Amino acid sequence: MKVSLPGVILGTLCCLPGGIIRTAAQPANQLTPVPIQSVTIQDAFWSPKRTVWQEITIPDCFTKFENDRGGAFNNFDRVRDGKSDGHAGPPWYDGLIYEMIRGSADFLAAKPDPVLETRIDGYIARITAAQARDTNGYLNTWTQLQHPDQRWGLNGGNDGYQHEMYNVGALCEAAVHYYQATGKSGLLKVAVRLANCTCDQVGPAPRLELVPNHAIAEEAFGDLYLFFREHPELKRDMPVAIDESRYLRLAQYWVEARGHPRKDQPSYGAYNQDHEPVLEQKTIEGHAVRAALLCAGVTALAGINGRDDYREAATCLWENMSQKKMYVTGGIGATAAGEAFGKDYFLPNDGYLETCGAVAAGFFDRNLNLLTGDARFVDALERELYNGALAGVSLAGNSYSYVNPLQAPHGNSRWSWNGCPCCPPMFLKLMGAMPGYIYAQDKSGIYVNLFVASKAQMQIAGHKVVLSQATDYPWQGEVKITVEAAKAGEFDLHIRIPGWCEGASSPEDLYQPDNRPLEGAARLKVNGKAVVNPAIVRGYATLHRRWKSGDVVQLTLDMPVQRVRANARVEAAKGRVALMRGPIVYCFEGADNGGAVQNLVIPPETRFTPKAQRNLLGGVTILEAAAIGVFKTGANYLVSMPFRVTATPYYANANRGTCPMQVWMAEQQDGASPQSQE
Ligand SMILES: [Zn+2]
């Protein structure tokens, strides 16, 4: 970790609570991402999906927002026109629109699309015109239209419902991402006016002592701080004076004021992570999306302020989440009541698992990887990308899921639109950002985090290096990485060895694959020569050499079908098994298994055969086996008989009409529910 030297002032000084003054000029993150703009994806798994999301999903969601309950964009027009009623949708609609813009911006950064960009420019013009109505730059269309005298929840308002700080956070993210994608600063000007207005009014006394009712602004304000630190030249073009340290200070206040009494704002309790000081919390509690986004923010801020208490709190909460409160798909938020985490190991198969929760956990994972340089956080991110989050949008790209349970005896169905359509924008944010998650770097070299066929350019040890990755991941475990460099150069190539492939296991692990070896399942070659016992540091195999153009690294990951069992304390998975192959979690759907799935038994000796099916569910590898089906005959006799079963990737569930689905399968007959035979 880069530590600033005592007494050497390297940059902006910020005064932190407790009287500690530290420099924030040097990032504390171990890794720096290779940004979307430097990465091109050409991947058999991701590219067709990304095309669907850019060409179908983004326009579909924008159109649905335009038509929703009188039109979410009309809210901005009504504020512009000085109206005082008629807000369409809930107060967080401004924020969802900003999230759509952020997600779309990242897709634009990867693949320019003039039609989409023009469409978004039109929206930004309407947002800008709405803000012009207020001399201070305040903008929250619900409050302005419905309760103009109750800004920030004052005068009998309800800041918990008004979502002002949530909306400003989402706006700042959108503005930064849209600038990075297009070089256009229009939305940035709106964002800084509202961010400055927020800093003027919210914060420690004598300002309003308010924390957001829903996390997002913590990381967003940290990012806005970083953005202006990296782009000081842009400050001149902004309509208000920029002192970026104010954004960082407010973000830290929002973390540190939780769990403490505040002047007028009552405690939100555990629901909004306000039950005790965040940096002292040991278990992740309350609303799962809020909690994971807050933790993502704490982690991002630790990467800026370098504080041990931030890093330790984030790591501790992540351990609790991933080792005691996470589903095998990466889903979080077991209970519908409060959309919340349950107690440790409470993971019912009909749990809630909001798509936004899996996405938020993915952001948390990713920030921890940057902070610590540890690959286990990418293992967790990968679980979200291929399972929990990916399940949130249909293969056709125009229907969605809010909840993602691990069993649906009567079938899951996706909606075309929802009264609270928060999940599609969050999904687009994660998948839009994904190209920037594949590679990272530090002074010593390059990190290959995700296995995605792609090309990336970066500067390392003073010269340009291009890495090309070819792979059929996640269906095959072969990855070929080719180095192109104008000049040979000495650096490390750190390649993630996925946790699903090999590694030590402990009886405490939440999920335990039954045939994962300690080592030997991941093998590396450089220019055709096997690398014997490569050093594995924090989950990365490190190859150090003088690299030259044409050098080829081959990684082979064994990819057997793995039977996964849950920790014995997970009641809902007792006597049950889930299947994984590589990073993919499988489920059983009625469509492939004679209409029902609860009657299937997968005894321990069952051997599954993977089979590539190019024309099924957008191209998947299915798993087939001879197992057992349990049936009830007309005379109420139970019959168990050999039954051919097929498992398909969980992410593709609920794409063939409504049919029963299940992830955790009975291993013995008494765990199955017999299917009546007519
Ligand atoms: Zn959601």
Please, which residues have CB within 8 angstroms of residue 450's CB and are 6 or more apart in sequence? 378, 381, 382, 385, 434, 437, 438, 496
First CA to last CA across the chain, in angstroms? 67
Q: Are 291 and 285 in contact (CB under 8 A)?
A: yes
Among 165-174, 316-325, 568-577, 628-637, where is mean pLDDT lowest? 628-637
pLDDT-based confidence at 106, cuts 50/70/90? very high
pLDDT of residue 507: 87
Residue 348 Cα to ligand 1 midpoint, Å, equals 19
Residue 652 Cα to ligand 1 midpoint, Å, equals 18
d(CA 650, CA 386): 9
Residue 516, token pair as written in the block: 């994962």
pLDDT of residue 413: 86
Residue 445, token pair as written in the block: 């070299």
Residue 360 Cα to ligand 1 midpoint, Å, equals 10
d(CA 524, CA 299): 32
Stated as kind and residue range, the H or E segment containing 177 is helix 164-182
Residue 92 Cα to ligand 1 midpoint, Å, equals 12
Q: Is the pLDDT of residue 206 over 60?
A: yes
The average pLDDT across 224-240 equals 98
Residue 422 Cα to ligand 1 midpoint, Å, equals 4
Residue 175 Cα to ligand 1 midpoint, Å, equals 21
| Average pLDDT for the chain | 94
Amino acid sitting at position 1:
M
Q: Is the pLDDT of residue 1 over 50?
A: no
Residue 412 Cα to ligand 1 midpoint, Å, equals 16
Torsion of CA 425, 429, 434, 436, to 10 degrees: 160
pLDDT-based confidence at 461, cuts 50/70/90? confident
pLDDT of residue 504: 87
Residue 420 Cα to ligand 1 midpoint, Å, equals 7
Measured at the CA of 323, the angle between CA 320 and CA 328, to 5 degrees, comes to 130
pLDDT-based confidence at 421, cuts 50/70/90? very high
Strand-pair category, 675-676 with 620-632 = parallel
Cα-flanking dihedrals φ and ψ of residue 23, to 5°? -85, 145
pLDDT of residue 12: 33
pLDDT-based confidence at 22, cuts 50/70/90? very low
DSSP code at position 392: G
Q: Report pLDDT digits (tens) over 367-398.
A: 999 999 999 999 999 999 999 999 999 999 99
Q: Phi-psi region for residue 10, left (φ > 0), alpha (ψ -120 to 50) or beta? A: alpha
Residue 113 Cα to ligand 1 midpoint, Å, equals 27
Residue 384 Cα to ligand 1 midpoint, Å, equals 15
pLDDT of residue 204: 97
Of all residues in the chain, the percent with pLDDT exceeding 90 is 92
d(CA 60, CA 107): 15
Residue 49 Cα to ligand 1 midpoint, Å, equals 20
The radius of gyration computed from the CA coordinates of the chain, to the nearest angstrom, equals 25
* Residue 7 Cα distances to 3, 11, 305, 309, 431, angstroms: 12, 12, 16, 22, 42
Residue 470 Cα to ligand 1 midpoint, Å, equals 34
Nearest to residue 411, comparing CAs of 593, 565, 563, 677? 593
Q: What DSSP string runs through 427-486?
A: HHHHHHHGGGGSEEE-SSEEEE-S--SEEEEEEETTEEEEEEEEE-TTT--EEEEEEEES
Please, which residues have CB within 8 angstroms of residue 374's CB and are 6 or more apart in sequence? 368, 538, 539
Residue 402 Cα to ligand 1 midpoint, Å, equals 6
E strands along 367-419, which residues? 407-408
Q: Is the pLDDT of residue 16 over 70?
A: no
Residue 564 Cα to ligand 1 midpoint, Å, equals 28
d(CA 96, CA 65): 9
Cis peptide preceding 474, ω within 30 of 0: yes
Please, which residues have CB within 8 angstroms of residue 3's CB and are 6 or more apart in sequence? 26, 306
Residue 426 Cα to ligand 1 midpoint, Å, equals 7
DSSP code at position 208: B
Amino acid sitting at position 283:
T
Q: Is the pLDDT of residue 638 over 50?
A: yes
Task: Find tokens 């291009």 and name the residue.
Answer: 466
Residue 496 Cα to ligand 1 midpoint, Å, equals 30
Q: Report pLDDT digits (tens) over 273-287.
A: 999 999 999 999 999
Residue 380 Cα to ligand 1 midpoint, Å, equals 20
Q: Is the pLDDT of residue 10 over 90?
A: no
E strands along 277-435, which residues? 407-408
pLDDT-based confidence at 462, cuts 50/70/90? confident
- Classify 367 as helix, strand or coil: helix
- Classify 552 as helix, strand or coil: strand
Say what the pTM is: 0.95
Cα-flanking dihedrals φ and ψ of residue 535, to 5°? -65, 130
Q: Are 95 and 170 in contact (CB under 8 A)?
A: yes
Q: Are 562 and 580 in contact (CB under 8 A)?
A: yes
Residue 419 Cα to ligand 1 midpoint, Å, equals 11
Nearest to residue 294, comparing CAs of 442, 439, 166? 166
* Residue 607 Cα distances to 41, 69, 513, 667, angstroms: 35, 52, 15, 13
Q: Are 401 and 415 in contact (CB under 8 A)?
A: yes
Nearest to residue 363, comparing CAs of 312, 288, 457? 288
